[in-house]
Amino acid sequence: MRSAILITGSLLWHNDQREVWRTSRLLLEKRFHAKVPICYGRVSTSHSKTFTMTFGPFERLGQGVLVPCRLAIGDAQGLFTEAQALWKAEKAGAKAFEIGAEWGCVGVLFREPKESLKIEWEKFFRVNASSVWPVSTDGRLSIPWPIPTADGTGDDVQVILAIATKAEVKPSMPEEIADAWLGQQKGHELYFFENVRYGIRTPDDGLIWKRLEERNPPWLANNAYQEAIAVLRAETSQPARQL
């Protein structure tokens, strides 16, 4: 079975242990965008209490990236291996077999699963992780199947793995999300601009950008952000963007 990783944040662009994982296990040249329900829904203490990505309301679609895995999944052990590699990329120093923590976990989407694979995955998940919404207690990611955009089809993908992280109880407004980046000076705004640059988008990006541009912090002049800023400015000068 062909598998793919659904990426909605820094797994696609951060150059730490994630870079080794991307180059060794993924077919980056075959990645494509897909519509998925995502938002800036988690306040991260390691990012100076700025917001990182979570899954969001299913009716509000953003855009993530699907990246095919190098190896096909032939059995349950192959699925377990891919999930463990994904979690090690997400969490530096993850223990063997670990695929989750209190704040997040690996979940799986099956297109047409064999019953035996579903059962084996559920057993493995219950031993090595705890569910974080929208991953259910059987380790299944309960979001709609991602809808590929114009740059890919994904017709051969049968299994999708993704990281779900625990969202805040109360959804945050775009202005609040922007203000969190405006209120810090440690470079964590990089998360927003790199997501935009790599095509990882939420329905609130335009409003977040409007707030940032109005406040005009010094880091908006950072050369590393200009590609993303050009995209955002082009979008906000036109009718609302359809993801």
Residue 74 exposed, middle or buried by CB count within 10 Å (0-12, 13-18, 19+): exposed
Identify whether 194 is part of a domain. Answer: yes
Which backbone phi and psi does 87 adopt, to 5 degrees? -65, -35
Q: Which domain holds residue 205?
A: 174-236
Question: 53 and 111 share a domain?
Answer: yes
- Would the pTM of this model clear 0.85, i.e. be above it? yes
pLDDT tens digits for 71-119? 999 999 999 999 999 999 999 899 999 999 999 999 999 998 789 999 9
Question: 71 and 178 share a domain?
Answer: no
Q: What is the pLDDT of residue 239?
A: 54
Domain boundary among 122, 138, 165: 165
Any residues with CB less than 8 A from the CB of 216 and at least 6 apart, and which?
Answer: none
Tally of structural domains, the chain: 2
Mean pLDDT of the chain: 95
Dihedral, CA of residue 78, residue 81, residue 83 and residue 85, to nearest 10: -140
Identify whether 68 is part of a domain. Answer: yes
> 207 pLDDT band (50/70/90 cuts)?
very high
Question: 205 and 133 share a domain?
Answer: no
Q: What is the pLDDT of residue 114?
A: 85
Any residues with CB less than 8 A from the CB of 29 and at least 6 apart, and which?
Answer: none
Start-to-end Cα distance in the chain: 29
Question: 198 and 222 share a domain?
Answer: yes
201-215: average pLDDT: 98
Q: What is the pLDDT of residue 8?
A: 98
Identify whether 242 is part of a domain. Answer: no
Per-residue pLDDT for 185 more than 60?
Answer: yes
136-145: average pLDDT: 96
Domain boundary among 139, 165, 191: 165
Return d(Cα 184, Cα 225) in angstroms, integer.
17
Which backbone phi and psi does 55 adopt, to 5 degrees? -75, 150
